Amino acid sequence: MIRDMASEEAAFLQEMLYAALAWRPDVELPPKEWVLEHPQVVVFHKNWGRDGDTALVAEESGRLIGAVWYRHFTESEHGEGYVDDETPELAIAVVEGSRARGVGGSLMQQMHERARREGVARISLSVDAENPAKRLYARLGYVEYELGDGLGRMILDLA
Ligand SMILES: CC(C)(COP(=O)(O)OP(=O)(O)OC[C@H]1O[C@@H](n2cnc3c(N)ncnc32)[C@H](O)[C@@H]1OP(=O)(O)O)[C@@H](O)C(=O)NCCC(=O)NCCS
């Protein structure tokens, strides 16, 4: 089941943000608490619930198994996927053990529908060149944005 994330589930969003950053199985990240406070990371979850913040979760047998979320940023405060103030930046993760079963694809498709309904024209994200998630994004219509700048940005045109 895919549904809106409840405000009291923000800790799950933080857990999934850490999972999204820890995508490389052979690289161990510093502890979650440290990573989540890093200036380049904290912008993705701090004060969750501000205008435009949107998060969906996937739930199976009463357990949360994945989340997708996006947030609008500004020139003065943004993540690597920033394109402009009108284009929210998306992030996603599915818990280990539940991956490659279509959960991530469903979460993203529902997020795209939600964004369209809310008048969002484009969505951006940032992904490492070696992350297999790139294939999923490309399949869903994301295209590389200003390739070669090292930011790994991809963008989806919702029009
Ligand atoms: C990326 C991710 C959210 C996709 O969710 P999912 O439920 O596994 O995806 P689906 O089953 O709908 O789609 C499968 C696609 O996801 C990607 N994928 C599958 N396993 C993956 C994994 N372990 N890590 C990253 N991407 C994976 C591939 O593109 C795959 O497509 P393919 O079958 O053509 O190889 C999930 O795999 C994940 O959480 N990975 C680790 C965190 C991460 O990389 N987040 C994105 C950071 S930009």
For the domain made up of 2-157, give the CATH fold. Aminopeptidase (3.40.630)
**E-strand stretches of the chain:** 2-4, 54-60, 63-71, 89-94, 122-126, 143-144, 153-157
Structural tokens at position 31: 């502890």
Give me the amino acid identity at 67.
A
- Using the mean position of ligand 1's atoms as its centre, give its distance from the Cα of residue 95 in Å: 10
Under 8 Å between Cβ of 83 and 71: no
User: Which segments of 22-88 does DSSP mark as H helices, in order?
Assistant: 32-37, 39-42
Mean pLDDT by 10 residues, the chain (159 residues): 96 97 94 96 95 97 97 94 97 97 98 97 96 97 93 96
User: What is the predicted pLDDT for the residue at 159?
Assistant: 86
- Using the mean position of ligand 1's atoms as its centre, give its distance from the Cα of residue 132 in Å: 6
User: What is the predicted pLDDT for the residue at 148?
Assistant: 85
- Using the mean position of ligand 1's atoms as its centre, give its distance from the Cα of residue 101 in Å: 9
Report which ligand 1 atom has the smallest distance to the Cα of 21. 47
User: What is the predicted pLDDT for the residue at 23?
Assistant: 94
Please tell me the pTM assigned to this model.
Answer: 0.95
User: What is the predicted pLDDT for the residue at 57?
Assistant: 98
